[in-house]
Amino acid sequence: MASDKVELNPVYLKEETKQKVRKSFLHSAQSDLPAVLLKDFFTKNFYEELQKKVSSLHFTKDTVVLHHSYQISKFTISSPEFCEFLSFVTKKKIEKVNLSAYLLTWKDYQILNDQYLEKSGIDIAIDLTDGWNPEWGGIVTYTDGKGTVYPLVPTGNSLALIERKRNLHKYIQYANHYGKDKKRMLLVATV
């Protein structure tokens, strides 16, 4: 499924905001976790529409026990407004974004495994879950492999941009039984 029309929160369309976000993202390159988290990224109406679209995708269970267990599908965003925003902030030419849609429930996880190392790049993570308690697990987490971890705080209607350098790897914390009646939906891509 694809979305060629996206409504960003008008705040993020202001030149001043875009400049600030770009500066913040590019300056973060020197920090341990080069990243920005943009809250209330879409308009409320579009966010709800996006949640509906993604939750209606056909998800398939994908399990490789030594690496991951989750339900996954695909979703593409080709909206010029969205791509222009990302291109501006990241200074990379982005014309469309092919995202993996993740549906996490109890017992799902993704662990680090040398056989499944991802190429470095800029991760785009759109959080489509409201009211997810971090204590339930299921958190996208970055690690430098030396014991320092950087969990992405679960925030509905947020967009996170993370420059995943060679020494930075991501995993998904095991989703525990306290969230067993809940579902966590995420869109993730690397550009």
Partner 1 sequence: MALNNWFDPEYLTEKSVKKLQAAFAGNRPFPHLELAHFLKGEKIVELLKTLGEQEFSPHRSDLFQFAQTSDLLYTDDPVLKEFISVLSSQELLGFMKKITNLKLNGKIDLFASIYQDTDYLLPHDDQVPGRKIAFMFYLNGLEENDGGTLALYGPKNKNADKIAKRFIPKAGTLIFFEVSGLSIHTVEEVLTDTQRITLSGWFYG
Interface residue list for partner 1 (CB under 8 A):
63-66, 107, 109-112, 137, 141, 143, 171, 173-174, 176-178
CB of 169 to partner 1, least distance (A): 9
Cα 20 → chain centroid: 20
Question: In angstroms, rounded to a whole number, what is the distance separating the alpha carbons of residues 46 and 64?
Answer: 34
CB of 69 to partner 1, least distance (A): 8
Q: How many residues does the chain have?
A: 191
Using the minimum distance from each CB to partner 1, give the nearer residue, 15 or 135.
135
CA angle 41, 118, 68 (to 5 degrees): 85
DSSP assignments along 88-104, one per residue:
HHHTS--S-EEEEEEEE
Maximum distance among all Cα pairs of the chain, rounded to whole angstroms? 46
Using the minimum distance from each CB to partner 1, give the nearer residue, 8 or 186.
186
CB of 2 to partner 1, least distance (A): 30
Using the minimum distance from each CB to partner 1, give the nearer residue, 3 or 110.
110
CB of 59 to partner 1, least distance (A): 17
